[in-house]
Amino acid sequence: MPTSPDSPWSATSSDIHDAIAEIVSTNREAALATVISVEGSGYRRPGAKMVVEPKGSVAGAVTAGCLEDSVVELSATVLDQGEPHIQTYDLTSSDDPDAWGLGLGCNGVVELLVEPIDESYQPVVDELQSGRSMTVITTLESSVSSTVAGDRAVMGENESVIPSVRGLPSHIVDAVRSSGEDFSAPETRTVQISIDGDPVRILIDRFEPAPRLLLFGGQPDAGPVVNLANSAGFDVHLHTARGGNADPGRFPSASEVTATRPSDVGDHVTRPDHTYAIVMSHNFVDDRLALESLLETEVDYIGVMGPEKRFRQLTDELPIDVDSNRIAAPVGLDLGGDEPMAIAFSIVGELLAAHNGGSGRPLSKQDGPIHPR
Amino acid sequence: MPTSPDSPWSATSSDIHDAIAEIVSTNREAALATVISVEGSGYRRPGAKMVVEPKGSVAGAVTAGCLEDSVVELSATVLDQGEPHIQTYDLTSSDDPDAWGLGLGCNGVVELLVEPIDESYQPVVDELQSGRSMTVITTLESSVSSTVAGDRAVMGENESVIPSVRGLPSHIVDAVRSSGEDFSAPETRTVQISIDGDPVRILIDRFEPAPRLLLFGGQPDAGPVVNLANSAGFDVHLHTARGGNADPGRFPSASEVTATRPSDVGDHVTRPDHTYAIVMSHNFVDDRLALESLLETEVDYIGVMGPEKRFRQLTDELPIDVDSNRIAAPVGLDLGGDEPMAIAFSIVGELLAAHNGGSGRPLSKQDGPIHPR
């Protein structure tokens, strides 16, 4: 699992998930703030989360710094009362030019759900730790007696509800299902359903396990890639053909360091849709065997270090077809530079772009908004 | 100055420069290995450096791991003898498929200069600490009596020679000048000159101070940018309009944290050709004043955080022309994602690309070699 971030602002969603898991397992008191909706200039999108512990320790952020102090205060109240709370912050109306209202990412209306983290999150923790995605539906506002704010249902991958405490009644879940929402869509959003003519407002929030980097190679230049990928939120599993290189102490931010036969690397892919693979052992024969093994999996990002000519030599001898859409060779974005750190930034930049659907190009040279809305 | 790297492989050239400075100032014993030339598949380019201390402590790397152990051994000999040594490693001839010869970045011929770090490096240290570039010319092989391997001249920015111990005789420097070499070219290369018909082989090596990131803004989202830029080799100077945010403890990897009036930010640009500026205070008025101040400098990379619409509002009210070639707005590469860490990777990726002349696009979608040769 990713290591703890240096500051709340370095926390990735994997770190937030780890924090929730630890709080649930140790039965500690803490609040979770989730962005429900944003109008205007919002820095974070719906689904962004922040964990607040009673002594003020914080992981994650819901805005660019405009609301975090208020959220810490509100969290204390929520924990005192033991009830979820929905708060709308309207930052558009300030007349003070020094106030946040004129600031980037704070010139909008932000709606937050702040709730105690309790055992109703146990199924979320369990699914994430098993590497599975899920959709969490939570009652925000209700005008019917059969559900109150904070009731939730955790829907696993087959869209069946995983039993939990404070579970949402099945007729509410059925009404959400009937609303035509796509539960596998990644966007966090709200939906209004009607129960016998009375409105209930529901939050639909998707949780994805940390993306996994499967790195084949154990030479020293893997070190900066492992560290940077970890800080970018990837769960790094390193496989090296050489047993002598498989000392976890060499790669402390990897979750797993294993000596693996190159032809068996693909066997370690358990969740191809969340896995990004990189082949960088530097050894020609090993790289070819590992590439062949990975091509037999469903992983659809396989980065191969080295020049295009070497990649052609690697694949010329492969007995199977190579779908170039799955392969990034040479791996990495064109950031220039030849230092190991520059190469690691190039690789992790491409991993992020592949995971989040970015092009890698400068935003200033693209049309359209920074974030898809 | 950048902090020490976790491992030799995370060392940037700034870290190597810092190591040389510390060794010279404390009069410690250590060797410096510099890549002179590479034929075939070389991972690092000429000019790549590795500092080796007698107890085996190492910063930097000259290959992908294929030669580092040999260089540590050779360094011990060089320090014993107190003389520079040139070593050629031919990695193309191995028949063993497990040997480095078949490996990526090790299937070539690499020539190294390994020399004791001594007071002849004092002018290099002085110039770097003053933020100035220089060209170092060093005798590699000589068939004349007036110079021996290891003699060097450090040429400052006006191409005048800075006096130093073991200085290269002026008639050799003059012969190098007459060879028509461009001393401001960044590529490390060798040149053969003739002294009365006898050959002398010279290394021409360029030292550049660490690129500087001038970051205007002191909100918490600056933290991940400061940390990542530092690990990428940037010397980070942070200016915040709010005195309360100017606590260096909040940004431990910045060299400087200063409360600065937004309209004075440009006054802090001392080396525009080595400076990259980012405006991300989130405050509209402050950002506009800082942008105006920076546009009055010669800095030719100014990144502005926020959507294009906000950038247009910022510049609509500016009394001066805006040269869009100097401006990256929105700042960053399109890596997707909205977490502060993802945004920091996007920004630092663009800084590296701007500094090294990269496009940001995936290398697999570009034609031509990874590194310009």
Q: Which of A276-285, B14-23, B93-102, B226-235 is least confident? A: B93-102
Looking at the complex, does the CB of residue A302 fall below 8 Å from at least one CB of chain B? no
Top pLDDT among A348 and B283 is at A348
Measure the CA–CA gap between B178 and A227, rounded to whole angstroms: 47
A56-60: long-range contacts, CB 8 A cutoff, minimum separation 24:
A58/A8, A59/A5, A59/A8, A59/A11, A59/A15, A59/A16, A59/A19, A60/A8, A60/A11, A60/A13, A60/A15, A60/A16, A60/A19
A176-185: long-range contacts, CB 8 A cutoff, minimum separation 24:
A176/A137, A176/A202, A176/A204, A183/A135, A183/A155, A183/A159, A184/A133, A184/A135
What's the pLDDT score for residue A373?
38
What's the pLDDT score for residue B62?
87
**β-bridge mates for residue B200, sequence order:** B142, B193
Residue with tokens 């010869």: B101
Test B227 with A334 for CB contact under 8 angstroms: no
Mutate to test the interface with B, among A63, A69, A104 (most CBs of B within 10 A): A104
Please list every residue in chain A whose beta carbon sits closer than 8 Å to the beta carbon of residue B64. Answer: 219, 221, 282
Residue B265 has a CB neighbour count (10 Å cut-off) of 27
**β-bridge mates for residue A106, sequence order:** A42
Task: Verify cis geometry, omega within 30 degrees of 0, for the bond prior to B169.
Answer: no
Nearest to A255 by CA among A230, A231, A276: A230
Measure the CA–CA gap between A35 and A60, rounded to whole angstroms: 12
Looking at the complex, does the CB of residue A319 fall below 8 Å from at least one CB of chain B? no
Percent of chain B at pLDDT exceeding 90: 66
Domains in chain B (CATH in brackets) are 8-117 (no CATH), 132-207 (no CATH), 212-356 (3.40.50.720)
What's the pLDDT score for residue B106?
67
Residue B257 phi/psi, 5-degree rounding, is: -130, 115
Residue B146 — very low, low, confident or very high, per pLDDT cuts 50/70/90?
very high
| Share in percent of chain A as helix, strand, coil (round to 5) | 35, 25, 40
Instruction: Give the pLDDT confidence of A253-290 residue by residue, as tens digits.
Output: 999 999 999 999 999 999 999 999 999 998 889 999 99
Give every residue of chain A whose pLDDT is below 50, as ranges.
1-5, 95-102, 372-373
The mean pLDDT of B284-296, rounded to a whole number, is 94
- The DSSP element (H or E) to which B33 belongs, if any, is strand B31-42
What's the pLDDT score for residue A184?
84
Q: Which of A163-167, A286-290, B167-171, B345-349 is least confident? A: A163-167
Residue with tokens 């070593």: B87
Residue A139 phi/psi, 5-degree rounding, is: -70, 125
Top pLDDT among A100 and B199 is at B199
Q: How many angstroms separate the CA of residue A358 from the nearest CA in chain B?
A: 4
Nearest to A98 by CA among B264, B244, B282: B282
Helix, strand or coil for residue A292?
A: helix
CB within 8 Å of A82: residues ≥ 6 apart: A116
Measure the CA–CA gap between A73 and B6, rounded to whole angstroms: 37
**β-bridge mates for residue B137, sequence order:** B153, B204
Measure the CA–CA gap between B43 and B51, rounded to whole angstroms: 17
Residue B184 has a CB neighbour count (10 Å cut-off) of 11
Q: What tokens were used for B320?
A: 């001066």
Residue with tokens 């500094």: B355
Question: Per DSSP, which regions of chain A are E strands?
Answer: 31-42, 49-52, 58-60, 85-90, 106-116, 134-142, 152-155, 161-162, 189-195, 198-207, 212-216, 235-240, 256-259, 275-279, 302-304, 327-328
Q: CA nearest B229 in A: which residue?
A: A345
The mean pLDDT of B52-75, rounded to a whole number, is 86
Residue B116 — very low, low, confident or very high, per pLDDT cuts 50/70/90?
very high
Mean pLDDT of chain A: 89
Measure the CA–CA gap between B143 and B256, rounded to whole angstroms: 49
Q: How many angstroms separate the CA of residue B150 from the nearest CA in chain A?
A: 25
What's the pLDDT score for residue A42?
67
User: B51, B20 in Cβ contact below 8 A?
Assistant: yes
Instruction: Give the pLDDT confidence of A72-89 residue by residue, as tens digits.
Output: 999 999 999 999 999 998
B35 has pLDDT over 60: yes
Looking at the complex, does the CB of residue A355 fall below 8 Å from at least one CB of chain B? yes
ipTM of the complex: 0.91
Looking at the complex, does the CB of residue B366 fall below 8 Å from at least one CB of chain A? yes
Residue A319 phi/psi, 5-degree rounding, is: -80, 0
Test B7 with A353 for CB contact under 8 angstroms: no
- The DSSP element (H or E) to which B287 belongs, if any, is helix B284-295
Instruction: Give the pLDDT confidence of B241-270 residue by residue, as tens digits.
Output: 987 788 888 999 999 999 999 999 999 999
CB within 8 Å of B100: residues ≥ 6 apart: A282, B66, B67, B91, B94, B106
Q: Which of A212-216, B211-215, B296-300, B363-367 is least confident? A: B363-367
What's the pLDDT score for residue A370?
61
